[in-house]
Structure formats: C-alpha cells, structure tokens
C-alpha cells in the first residue's frame, strides 16, 4: 500500500494471519519501482522467517510442557532441577522442593470417569500456577503428582507456600462432567512433602527426600504437609 503520493510504503508481513508490517518513508521523492520491489521481496522473506520461528517455538513448547496441564513435563522438570542444583552450588543460596499428590485421585476417575479426572488435574495445575511466584518452577511429575522447585527459599518459607497451596486446593470447587454429560461439582485435597537442599545432595536425592516426606503425609492422614528430616 502506497500513501502520501507514493512517499510512504506499507508492506504487510502475512502468514496464517497478519504478523505486522514494514513501513518505508521517503522524505524527498516517492519510492521508486526498484525500491518497492526490494521492500516487497523483503516483507515476503521476513514473513517466511517469522512463521518458521513461530513454528519452532511451538514445537519447543510442546517438547517441554505437559499437554494437559500446561506445566513443565517430567523431562523439563529434570532439566530445571539440574540447573537449579548447579546454581545453588555456585551461589550458595537456599532451594526447596515440594512434592504434591492429589488425594484419592483414582476414586475420582472410577466415580466420574477420566474426562472428569482430566478436569481435576487441569484445575489443580491452575491453582498451583496461581499461588506461586513467577520464579518458582512447577511441573507435572507424573499421573496425579506434581513437583515445585522454590529457588531462594528456606524451609519455613517453603512450608508456608505448601500450606497456601493445600488450603487453596481444599477451598476450590471443581465443575466436572461425568460420562453421562451431567455437570457436577467435586472437591479434592492434596498431600505435600517439603525438603530444603543440603550440601552434597544429588539432584535425585533432593527431590526424592521431598517425595519421602510426601509419602509420610499420605500414610498419616492425607490433606497435610510433612517435612523431611
């Protein structure tokens, strides 16, 4: 599109949708045919480059995120875990881990069906994301189990975060549909295990100790928090 007597040219960047545009402005003469042809080719090539970059970003996102919950997947959790442990060793800063399990989740699937179970998982994931800081790292560890890494956080602070998560889930009413398309409201609770990194812990030992604390919560009443000691 040429405006202002041909002194301004607007060249759209078009993919599956309009991505933006390149604008050329001449303060003297109108744009020449050669300049217009060059800018047209530039906008077309730029459109292709941007589309490829967006496609790559989409592929990368699906490679690192859990498709159902939008949290980091297990593989990305392990990558971030190793990164955070390395950072702790370099900077000597605190790091805590919270392992989370939805109480009696199998009963939800057995009673209302797997579609309802998926809805519960997505809702709990959203609660976790809402209650955490931007710097915290939440992942779906597997099944109905989640993991949270809390950089620059000591054990008492991590316990407070865990309690906030536990209470938020307990107070959340989840709307689900059963296998007969009836809309129902269900409530669930979570059990949590908390651990603070100690010198010489390997990445595996670090999250496994939080997982042992989680196991204690599950075997001593559920809907509670345990700290590994």
- State whether 14 and 108 are in the same domain: no
Q: Which residues contact 15 (CB under 8 A, 6 or more apart)?
A: 47, 50, 51, 54
Mean pLDDT along residues 7-24: 89
Mean pLDDT along residues 145-162: 97
| Whether pLDDT at 56 is above 80 | no
pLDDT computed for residue 60 by the predictor: 65
Within a domain: residue 120?
yes
Beta bridge partner(s), residue 2: 9
- State whether 60 and 157 are in the same domain: no
pLDDT computed for residue 61 by the predictor: 62
C-alpha angle 194-83-54 in degrees, rounded to nearest 5: 115
- State whether 33 and 100 are in the same domain: no
Tell me the pLDDT band of 128, cut-offs 50, 70 and 90: very high
| Whether pLDDT at 59 is above 80 | no
Within a domain: residue 24?
yes
Contact (CB, 8 A) for 194 and 158: yes
pLDDT computed for residue 177 by the predictor: 80
Give 176-220 pLDDT, tens digit per residue: 887 777 888 999 999 999 999 999 999 999 999 999 999 999 999
Query: What string of DSSP letters covers 48-79?
Result: HHHHHHHHHHHHHHHHHB-TTT-SB-HHHHHH
- State whether 84 and 168 are in the same domain: yes
- State whether 43 and 92 are in the same domain: no
Contact (CB, 8 A) for 42 and 35: no
Beta bridge partner(s), residue 174: 186
Last residue of a domain, one of 11, 46, 64: 64
pLDDT computed for residue 62 by the predictor: 63
Least confident of 53-57, 74-78, 125-129: 53-57
- State whether 22 and 118 are in the same domain: no
Handedness of CA 156, 207, 64, 119 (dihedral sign): negative
Give 60-111 pLDDT, tens digit per residue: 666 789 999 999 999 999 999 999 999 999 999 999 999 999 999 999 999 8
- State whether 183 and 84 are in the same domain: yes
- State whether 123 and 46 are in the same domain: no
Beta bridge partner(s), residue 193: 99, 226
Within a domain: residue 46?
yes
Helix (H) or strand (E) holding 13: strand 8-14
Looking at the annotation, which residues are catalytic?
144
Cα gap 164→141, rounded to integer Å? 20
Cα gap 119→168, rounded to integer Å? 17
Within a domain: residue 69?
no
- State whether 56 and 115 are in the same domain: no
Whole domain around residue 132: which residue ranges?
74-227
- Fill in the DSSP letter of residue 218: H
User: What's 220's domain CATH number?
Assistant: 3.30.70.270
Cα gap 149→60, rounded to integer Å? 21
Within a domain: residue 155?
yes
- State whether 26 and 79 are in the same domain: no
| Whether pLDDT at 36 is above 80 | yes
Q: Which of 127, 214, 219 is nearest to 167 (CA)?
A: 127
- State whether 57 and 86 are in the same domain: no
Domains: count for the chain: 2
pLDDT computed for residue 183 by the predictor: 87
Express as a percent the part of the chain with pLDDT over 90: 76
pTM: 0.74
Last residue of a domain, one of 64, 92, 109: 64
Within a domain: residue 126?
yes
- State whether 10 and 97 are in the same domain: no
Average pLDDT, the chain: 92
């Amino acid at each position: 599109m040429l405006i202002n007597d041909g002194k301004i040219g607007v060249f759209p960047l078009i993919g599956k949708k309009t991505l933006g545009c390149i604008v050329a402005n001449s303060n003297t003469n109108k744009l020449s045919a050669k300049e217009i042809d060059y800018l047209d080719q530039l906008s077309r090539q730029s459109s292709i480059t941007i589309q490829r970059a967006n496609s790559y970003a989409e592929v990368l996102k699906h490679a690192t995120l859990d498709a159902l919950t939008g949290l980091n997947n297990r593989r990305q959790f392990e990558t971030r875990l190793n990164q955070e442990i390395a950072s702790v060793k370099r900077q000597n800063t605190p790091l805590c881990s919270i392992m989370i399990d939805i109480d009696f989740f199998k009963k939800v699937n057995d009673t209302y069906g797997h579609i309802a179970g998926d809805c519960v998982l997505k809702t709990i994931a959203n609660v976790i994301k809402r209650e955490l800081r931007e710097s915290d790292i939440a992942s779906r560890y597997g099944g109905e189990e989640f993991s949270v890494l809390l950089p620059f956080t000591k054990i008492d602070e991590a316990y407070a975060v865990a309690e906030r998560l536990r209470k938020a889930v307990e107070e959340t009413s989840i709307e689900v549909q059963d296998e007969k398309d009836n809309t129902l409201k269900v409530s669930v609770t979570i059990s949590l295990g908390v651990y603070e990194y100690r010198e010489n812990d390997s990445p595996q030992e670090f999250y496994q100790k939080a997982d042992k604390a989680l196991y204690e919560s599950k075997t001593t009443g559920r809907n509670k928090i345990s700290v590994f000691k």
